[in-house]
Structure 1
Amino acid sequence: MIDSKALSPSLGVEFTGVADPLDDAFVERAAEALKWRGVLLVRGLHLDDEQQLAFSRRLGEVVSLRGREIFPISLDPAVSSTAKYLKGAFYWHLDGTTDDVPVKATTLTARHIAAVGGGTQFASTYAAYENLPGKDRERYENLRVVHSFEASQRLVNPDPTEEEVAGWRTQPTHEMSLVWRRRDGRRSLVTGTTADHVVGMDPEESRALLDELLDWSSQDRFCYTHDWTVGDLVVWDNTGILHRALPYDENSERLLHRTTVVGEEAFG
């Protein structure tokens, strides 16, 4: 029998008793949990790559990253072609903020875990918006923000070479509303380390506002921290859930297998 419980007051559902992740009843419950609670967890499910792909396809279309539907997440450049950029994932972010339509959802299965550190934290930008004081809602309502890959990478590498900056700037920037008015009537905040500046605002004031907003959105009361065990499956709604990896030794064998589900709703 499948049972469930909340991971935290603001987000997340943990399912137990899952014998078949492709069972229609479970897939339906998982999709509902993803929409309304943002994060779902099944501990020790031990999906292989084909099972993870099959489950992911029940949630939507799976996109290839660098030609791979199952993408390895590792700090080892021999394992992951994006290893040198992954330290940017140690900071709060949403994936796809420089795209018109962001990633809908991400699934991760743990293959190897770090001996120390390496957990993953999640924060609900739905809950962050819903709990804003009225004066702050008014303040943020009509602001627009430019997001860039460069903004996130400067946190990892604050003194880049000209060549590194030029490489970052080959990636597109994207301007969007700070408050995302969703098709279903809900609202969330589009924030994170890719948020470069508020359009038309003094740079220092802009930076202060974006830092303040990220601090607000990542309060403990809006968060859940997952400590991985081998075989865990975690899925999250990338459109409304900030995430970050907790630091771990770059020589660690930590390895997560990722699938990415194509988005369905453009940023507001």
Structure 2
Amino acid sequence: MLFRNQSLPPEDHLRLARMFGPIEDRKKDERQPGTGPEVSLVSNETGAGVTDEMDLHTLHLKANQQWHIDSTFMPVPSLCNILAAKVVTTEGGQTELASTRAAWAAMPEELKQKIRGRILGHNYRRSRERISMELANLPMFNKWPAQRWPAVWANPVNGHEALFIASHVFEVEGLSPAEGDALVDELMAFCTQPQFVYSHQWQVGDVLMWDQRATLHRGMPWPYEQPRTLASVCCSMTASDGLETARKAVSLAC
């Protein structure tokens, strides 16, 4: 969903997100007692200007230019992300969304059979290794143990299936590393064909949100000397969103 011309201060951003589920709090173990989750800024701005193109922070932003679903590497994945545009660039910097539900519905049965019933291993570090080993070695990318999730999720309300895949995938259970990587690449290529992709050109005041269970997304490059700031709040999945069904599928596959 897209809402334009919105003023969304942090307290309202958090209040909106709580309408959809618990706020994801990746820094819970770092916060002072008595403080709550905060709005995250996806930004290359600092108090001294913008980060250099090869700065580790900028490389982290570049890692987000890989197709992914937020938080598949966490014990509780994200249900939705609510992004609000604060500072936008004169060119580039789009956010692209790909429907893995529409892609799954259109996918040839032969390809579906390669992945249906399989379990995928997800790790935050994996997506950062593709960009920089120095980046991947930072503590924030090694904070959570690898997570295992079914490759295909069904929406508990309407039963529609979608592929649950991301750049964080490091393993396809039952396949060799080479076979697994090749299959993930094939699935990613299918899901991100133009007919399944929406490319959003940001305007200040835009608020964009989506269902993470059925949507890949990525940022697009921009001239890094230009500042770009998006405010982000993710909501965590609950049992009613299909979380326990997914966990049960993993346990049965063991």
Report the counterpart of residue 171 of structure 2 in structure 1: 197
- Of the three residues 36, 39, 42, the one matched with 1:70 is 39
Matches within 5 A, 1:110-149: 110-149=85-124
On the 8 A contact 2:96/2:199 being kept in 1, the answer is yes
Shift of 1:148: 1.2
Report the counterpart of residue 93 of structure 1 in structure 2: 68
**CA deviation vs aligned residue, 1:107-139 (integer Å, no higher than 9, x gap):** 111111012211100011111111111222222
On the 8 A contact 2:68/2:218 being kept in 1, the answer is yes
Any stretches of 5+ residues in structure 2 without a counterpart?
32-36, 250-254
2:170 pairs with 1:188: no
On the 8 A contact 1:64/1:70 being kept in 2, the answer is no
Shift of 1:166: 7.3
2:32 pairs with 1:59: no
Report the counterpart of residue 207 of structure 1 in structure 2: 181
Report the counterpart of residue 130 of structure 2 in structure 1: 155
- Of the three residues 203, 224, 232, the one matched with 2:206 is 232
Partner Cα distance (1:59, 1:126) in 2: 20
The two structures have a TM-score, normalised by structure 2, of 0.80
The SS at the match of 1:229 is coil
Partner Cα distance (2:26, 2:4) in 1: 25
The two structures have a TM-score, normalised by structure 1, of 0.76
User: Could you tell me which amino acid in structure 2 is paired with residue 101 of structure 1?
Assistant: V
2:241 pairs with 1:260: no
On the 8 A contact 1:65/1:71 being kept in 2, the answer is no
Shift of 1:47: 2.3
On the 8 A contact 1:121/1:243 being kept in 2, the answer is yes
On the 8 A contact 1:77/1:84 being kept in 2, the answer is no
- Of the three residues 20, 42, 55, the one matched with 2:3 is 42
Partner Cα distance (1:223, 1:207) in 2: 22
1:164 to 1:141, Cα distance in 2 relative to 1, 3 A: closer
- Of the three residues 135, 140, 145, the one matched with 1:172 is 145
1:164 to 1:258, Cα distance in 2 relative to 1, 3 A: closer
Any stretches of 5+ residues in structure 1 without a counterpart?
1-39
On the 8 A contact 1:77/1:83 being kept in 2, the answer is no
On the 8 A contact 2:153/2:213 being kept in 1, the answer is no
User: Could you tell me which amino acid in structure 1 is paired with residue 225 of structure 2?
Assistant: N
Report the counterpart of residue 6 of structure 1 in structure 2: none
Partner Cα distance (1:202, 1:51) in 2: 47
Greater displacement, 187-196 / 167-176: 167-176
Greater displacement, 198-207 / 224-233: 198-207
1:112 to 1:154, Cα distance in 2 relative to 1, 3 A: same
Report the counterpart of residue 105 of structure 1 in structure 2: 80
User: Could you tell me which amino acid in structure 2 is paired with residue 71 of structure 1?
Assistant: S
**CA deviation vs aligned residue, 1:215-262 (integer Å, no higher than 9, x gap):** 011111111000000101111111211110001233321111111212
Report the counterpart of residue 12 of structure 1 in structure 2: none
The SS at the match of 2:145 is coil
On the 8 A contact 2:72/2:147 being kept in 1, the answer is yes
